[in-house]
Structure 1
Amino acid sequence: MNTEQIDYLAEAEDGSSLWQDAWLRLKKNRAAVAGGIVLITMVLLALLTPLIAPYGYEAQNLDLGASPPSAAHWLGTDIFGRDLLTQILYGGRISLAVGFIATAVALVIGVTWGAVAGYIGGRVDAAMMRFVDILYALPFMIFIILLMVVFGRNILLLFLAIGAVEWLTMARIMRTQVQALRQQEFVEAAISLGLSPRSIIFKHIVPNAIGPIIVYTTLTIPSVMLLEAFLSFLGLGIQPPQTSWGLLISYGAETMEEYPWLLIFPGLALTVTLFSLNFLGDGLRDALDVRGSKD
């Protein structure tokens, strides 16, 4: 038995909560810790972009044009002479905002739908989940594209459209969790006290299912960001003068043979962020898996 195992057993003997045990397991996962550090760094860079960006967002030098990385422009410039590092920092704000806000929309819809269906059960549950099954069969990429074309390429609509198609899996997960939790003694006690179903669901059951919700969140954000990047690559996502990593990648792909740095650096920013979110999500899933922790 090594030193880490002895320390872990000693802490377990002193008594610890589920969250403390999960935190101890998460800290031992180096990939998840590294992913968390990278994600926090990206978020801080996005929040502080107006203060740390080396150039103004709209600053351009047409005489300079597209130039490779240099001391003046660490990541080079685009065809309009705009600093690429500045563009990536501002693009990160939009890409991360889409990821977090659209995921929040998906969580609100999915958690509410799944919790209500799982708690009520019976015909209501069957009807609600059949509706979810029907939506699963629809080509939602086409649905989002149609929304963008009909209602205009509005960034708020993009948040809602992406979030509205990402809630289905969360609804299924939440329904399963609620079905398992509604038989627990604390739920029966809440019912005996005369609490309303709404109070039982959102004040007692949902907080006890927070683990799967957290894991799903960290795994959904990268898929949402990738979806936004794909839409921007097709010209249906973020539109100028705003920018995002997906839009920068789209521009870079058009000139990759002449100016490869315009594709490499935005692609690298998106890839690193997606990997960090996936590593963190996998680590949280393992840390919050009580059954796995007993092995």
Structure 2
Amino acid sequence: MTSEIISDITEAEQGTSLWKDAWLRLRKNHLAIVGLVLLVALIIIALLTPWIAPYSYETQNLELGATPPSAQHWLGTDIFGRDLMTQIMYGGRVSLAVGFVATSVALLIGVTWGAIAGYVGGRVDAVMMRLVDIMYALPFMIFIVLLMVVFGRNMLLLFLAIGAVEWLTMARIMRSQVQSLRQQEFVEAAISLGLSPGKIIVRHLIPNALGPIIVYTTLTIPAVMLLEAFLSFLGLGIQPPKTSWGLLISYGAETMEEFPWLLIFPGLALSITLFSLNFLGDGLRDALDVRRSKD
């Protein structure tokens, strides 16, 4: 009993931080940890794909055609005789890149827009958020389709187009966070020291709103990946010779009755990634909840 009391006193003297508490709570969420481990593993595989893929990406064997999983081709081959595992690994590079890059674009726009609107307030805030409301009412799928038709099917354009339609919710979240933070003492102290609004936003407000930003990021990436998969399924996303999980699922859906493995395995890869991100996002949401630190 005495040792436990001493240990508690020592921990109290050492103190703790929000991020340390959040990590301790996150470790207790087993689904979130599983999601984190799977996500890190998928990212490592995607980065190392050119060196660890079992076959070359361009290798075809038309005589072999579509074959079910075997010792030589663990996940089978497609109708062109290409190794499906290799296709999934290269497709994962594109799908994950779309998810992370497009989400980064969305965060850059949304965080900047919401922080400015929340800090400045007044008429500027009203005009900026009314623009957000108007854009919410627009059919974004048609907007993306028009961009692809006008500017062509370019991968970089796909990243920018998806990111440009996914920032609205982040702008609202960031605005509400900044509005709650701008009345705090540390912001008033920064103002009294003569810091410009830009420096206050970048150095003080955004860092103190990282919790919601991180949580929203983990929930936006799967949404972006699903959107890319849907666009590729419609033939508006990634185009051959490049591939993505969405494009593989599209091909698999066309031949699912005859060659079901062409749909099952790419769909499984996408599902595992989405579940991992959602589990991690839910865990981070709970871990970064300040109210839980008082429990």
Letter in 2 for 1:198: G
145-154 or 259-268, which moves further after superposition? 145-154
**Pairwise CA distance, 1:13:** 6.8
Structure 1 residues 44, 8: CA separation in 2 closer, same or farther (over 3 Å shift)?
Answer: farther
Unaligned 5+ residue runs, structure 2? Answer: 1-6
TM-score (norm. length: structure 2): 0.96
Letter in 2 for 1:112: T
Q: Please name the residue that 1:3 is paired with.
A: none
CA distance in 1: counterparts of 2:97 and 2:167, whole angstroms: 17
Q: Please name the residue that 1:168 is paired with.
A: 168
Q: Please name the residue that 2:288 is paired with.
A: 288
**Pairwise CA distance, 1:18:** 0.5
Q: Please name the residue that 2:53 is paired with.
A: 53
Structure 1 residues 65, 293: CA separation in 2 closer, same or farther (over 3 Å shift)?
Answer: same
**Pairwise CA distance, 1:149:** 1.2
Letter in 1 for 2:135: L
Q: For this pair of structures, how many residues does the alignment match?
A: 289
Letter in 1 for 2:198: R
| SS of residue in 2 equivalent to 1:134 | helix
| SS of residue in 2 equivalent to 1:82 | coil
CA distance in 1: counterparts of 2:145 and 2:132, whole angstroms: 20
**Pairwise CA distance, 1:12:** 6.0
Deviation readout 1:69-115 (Å, 9 max, x if unpaired): 00000000000000000000000000000000000000000000000
Identity of aligned residues (%): 81
CA distance in 2: counterparts of 1:9 and 1:69, whole angstroms: 59
CA distance in 2: counterparts of 1:175 and 1:198, whole angstroms: 15
Unaligned 5+ residue runs, structure 1? Answer: 1-6
Q: Please name the residue that 1:148 is paired with.
A: 148
CA distance in 1: counterparts of 2:90 and 2:8, whole angstroms: 43
Paired residues for 1:117-196 under 5 Å: 117-196=117-196
Deviation readout 1:188-210 (Å, 9 max, x if unpaired): 11100111100001111101111
Structure 1 residues 8, 77: CA separation in 2 closer, same or farther (over 3 Å shift)?
Answer: farther
Q: Please name the residue that 1:4 is paired with.
A: none
Q: Please name the residue that 2:260 is paired with.
A: 260
CA distance in 1: counterparts of 2:8 and 2:225, whole angstroms: 37
Letter in 2 for 1:254: E
CA distance in 2: counterparts of 1:141 and 1:287, whole angstroms: 34
Runs of 4+ in 1 over 4 A off after TM superposition: 7-14
8-17 or 52-61, which moves further after superposition? 8-17
Paired residues for 1:228-267 under 5 Å: 228-267=228-267
The CA RMSD over aligned residues, in Å, is 1.3
139-148 or 264-273, which moves further after superposition? 139-148
Q: Please name the residue that 2:208 is paired with.
A: 208
Q: Please name the residue that 1:84 is paired with.
A: 84
CA distance in 2: counterparts of 1:114 and 1:12, whole angstroms: 37
CA distance in 2: counterparts of 1:10 and 1:62, whole angstroms: 69
